[in-house]
Amino acid sequence: MTAPGFSGDGDCSSEEWSSTWDTTEYIDGGWMLYVRILSESGESTTPIERYVNIDNVPASPELSPYGDIVVEENGIVVDSAPVDSFLNVRAQLRNNGDRHARNVLVVLYENGDQIASETLSRVDSTDVVEVVFGYHPTDAGLSSLKIEIDPSNTVTESDESNNEQEISFTVHSIPVGVDLALREGAATTNPRVANPNGDVTLNLRLENLGSSDASGVTFTLERWSELGWELLDTRGINIVSGAGYIDVPFTIHEGQLDVGDALFRASVSVEGVVDLDPTNDELEFTLLADEAQLQGARKLELSEGHVPLGFFGYSGDNLLFTGDGDSIWVHRVNEKYDLFTCLELEDDWAGEFAISSGEGDSANIVWTRRLIDQFGATVTTLSFSTVDLSCTNTEVIDLMPQLMLAEGTYWGIDLEVEEGKALIGGYHRDLFTSGTYDDVTSIFMLDSSTPLDSESWQLTREVIPVIEPPAGMAGSVQVARGSDWTHMTYQAMRDDGTGSERVGTFYAHGRLGDANWSFKTALGDHTSLGQLSVLQNSDGEDVVLTGWKEGAGYESELVLIRSDSALQDKEVKRVSAAGVSTLVFVETARGVQVFYESVGPSGRQIHYSMMDAESINIGAPLAEGALVMVGRSESTGETHIIYSSPTMDWR
């Protein structure tokens, strides 16, 4: 447009001008407007720019499926399952609109018939919400599973055409015939931790995965000794019903088990018919005889939305830390596991949390949190505090430089406090990279001999420099002090050897304060759930205990290693652990307790094993349920196991 002319008397002057822009003629979205002055002689000023967001469409929700529909059996993703299986169907939906949606009905259909539904009270703008439906197929064949959002169109959306998602799922019939099976996790004991000083009842679950009854069954139990397999018992079983199971009990008398693990073998045969799958007719398993005793489970009344994060105990008093949205809460716990909420430790939690009991009467906590800096920007940092049994926390100390979202993040944090000395390790993703925006991830370490003194903390950057982290920030760093070295395990992507890219677990050691540790080596492929502890042998030398998960789904294994710092003299044990999703090391005066959770014949099971400076001892299932976390009260010698029971309540 042409603006009025300016006076030509040489004096400075200013005039106003305006223009009309009809935004209804343009599509919604972001537009950049530029303004400059152009004289008749061709001279121009530097453009002035303004960003304008056009939004002519009234605010409304816009719901659509997000990601893929998955079907799970005991937490393991499957693409087929037998008739009468108990499955879960998981789906996610996203609100892509600019207004929240209320009372959103989500329906699951099988072959066009509605079989389940759930109503979401509210889905905020940009939020992603997961829904989980129970699925119990009763007919064999190829089934169509469809998720439909708001089928009656009661929610007014900007786009109603993208509310459905569908997959195909195969349901197998139960095979005709007899298929006797002894599956991993079939051996349990009473008491659940075998006592070397009393009788132990060994129960073995024998299943018939076929549709026909099995009669004339012979069951044999053997034990390994220095002379080979030693026969303990042989017995006949009249009948095992088709698609059923029986428990076969044996008594192991006092004096037959020494402290440590013992290897057993159970086998089964049937007369007159051919077993459909003879590969599952035999099971080798170990029993751990240990001084530990398992007390009865107690129900934990957690408020809706709270997820256990950590547990601390001292002299019979206990604290439970939970996360709920952006908050970290502290609860006092009595001997009956009654909860008394006493402190909101953080109200802008950024998702990372680690706890260490140390040796005192206070829990040591490190977590990531968000705050507003002096310029009004939201930043994230890593913070430290302690909480005592009266629910009083010390002053929060910010340990790491504050990062805006565009500058990077901290994650995969681990904390160890021993003899008053604190050690922290974690990943640092540096998006800014001194202004080059190279997006570099490294591992840092923090240490302090007096952790309540904010000036005492020492930061060592790039202890492990320039790694490619697992996708979705899934890795975790584990740290431990030793008498010889400071030790670490971590996960990173690797493509060496095979040329294929996969997640590997790595071990490294070095000196506190040194960057770019020279000793680092790969431990395993396709890994997750890393754990680390360091003990000393009789000569005072470091013994490194590590564990991780390898593989996925029903092919998952738990790998445990006991070695020296150079990983030259080592013992390795691999344990079949289908669907293992949690692994926890707990240090005690007797060694390291190992807790993990995997899928057994009837669902998820929590297993208990022991490691020390001399041996690795694998145990049997401890309880039914999904392991969440484990805490230790060394002053009372108690280990507290927090898990979700098969009835979906907290224990």
Domain CATH number, residue 92: 2.60.40.10
- Cα 185–Cα 189–Cα 192 angle in degrees, nearest 5: 100
Pick the last residue of a domain from 172, 200, 221. 172
Is there a single domain that holds both residue 67 and residue 32?
no
Q: Which tens digit of pLDDT belongs to each residue from 410-454?
A: 999 999 999 889 999 999 998 876 666 678 999 999 999 999 999
Q: Which domain holds residue 259?
A: 180-289
The structure tokens listed for 437 are 């925006």
Is there a single domain that holds both residue 185 and residue 252?
yes
Residue 83 lies in a domain: yes
Average pLDDT along the chain: 89
Q: Where are the alpha helices (DSSP H) in 229-308?
A: none
Predicted pLDDT of residue 472: 78
Query: pLDDT class for 617, splitting at 50, 70, 90?
Result: very high
Residue 235 lies in a domain: yes
Beta strands 164-172; 80-82: pairing state: parallel
Answer whether the bond into residue 65 is a cis peptide, omega within 30°.
Answer: no
Is there a single domain that holds both residue 155 and residue 203?
no
Pairwise pLDDT comparison (236 vs 496), residue with the higher score? 236
Residue 603 lies in a domain: yes
Q: Which tens digit of pLDDT belongs to each residue from 622-639?
A: 888 889 889 888 777 888
Residue 404 lies in a domain: no
Predicted pLDDT of residue 36: 84
Predicted pLDDT of residue 31: 84
Predicted pLDDT of residue 319: 92
Question: pTM for this one?
Answer: 0.85
Is there a single domain that holds both residue 81 and residue 185?
no
Number of domains in the chain: 4
Pick the last residue of a domain from 151, 172, 193. 172
Q: Is 42 left (phi over 0), alpha (psi -120 to 50) or beta?
A: left
The structure tokens listed for 27 are 């599509």
Is there a single domain that holds both residue 615 and residue 481?
yes
Is there a single domain that holds both residue 35 and residue 89?
no
* C-alpha gyration radius of the chain: 31
Predicted pLDDT of residue 648: 58
Identify the weakest region by mean pLDDT among 333-347, 446-460, 551-565: 333-347
Residue 18 lies in a domain: no
Residue 571 lies in a domain: yes
Is there a single domain that holds both residue 606 and residue 483?
yes
Give the CA distances from residue 345 to residues 175, 290, 304, 386, 553, in Å, rounded to whole numbers and listed in that order.
55, 38, 18, 10, 37
Is there a single domain that holds both residue 165 and residue 184?
no
Is there a single domain that holds both residue 81 and residue 136?
yes
CB 520 within 8 A of CB 464: yes
Return phi, psi of residue 435, to 5°.
90, -5
Q: Which tens digit of pLDDT belongs to each residue from 453-490?
A: 999 999 999 999 989 888 877 789 999 999 989 999 99
- Is the confidence at residue 10, as pLDDT, over 70? no
Query: pLDDT class for 586, splitting at 50, 70, 90?
Result: very high
Is there a single domain that holds both residue 166 and residue 218?
no
Predicted pLDDT of residue 394: 94
- Non-local (6+) Cβ contacts of 34 within 8 A are 47, 48, 49
**Mean pLDDT, residues 76-92:** 92
- Cα 288–Cα 291–Cα 295 angle in degrees, nearest 5: 95
Is there a single domain that holds both residue 148 and residue 184?
no
Give the CA distances from residue 247 to residues 205, 601, 616, in Å, rounded to whole numbers and listed in that order.
5, 12, 29
Pick the last residue of a domain from 255, 289, 323. 289
Residue 104 lies in a domain: yes
Q: Which tens digit of pLDDT belongs to each residue from 159-183?
A: 888 899 999 999 999 999 999 999 9
Predicted pLDDT of residue 651: 55
DSSP 377: -
| Secondary structure in 3-state letters for 553-573 | HHHCEEEEEEECCCCCCEEEE
Predicted pLDDT of residue 474: 78
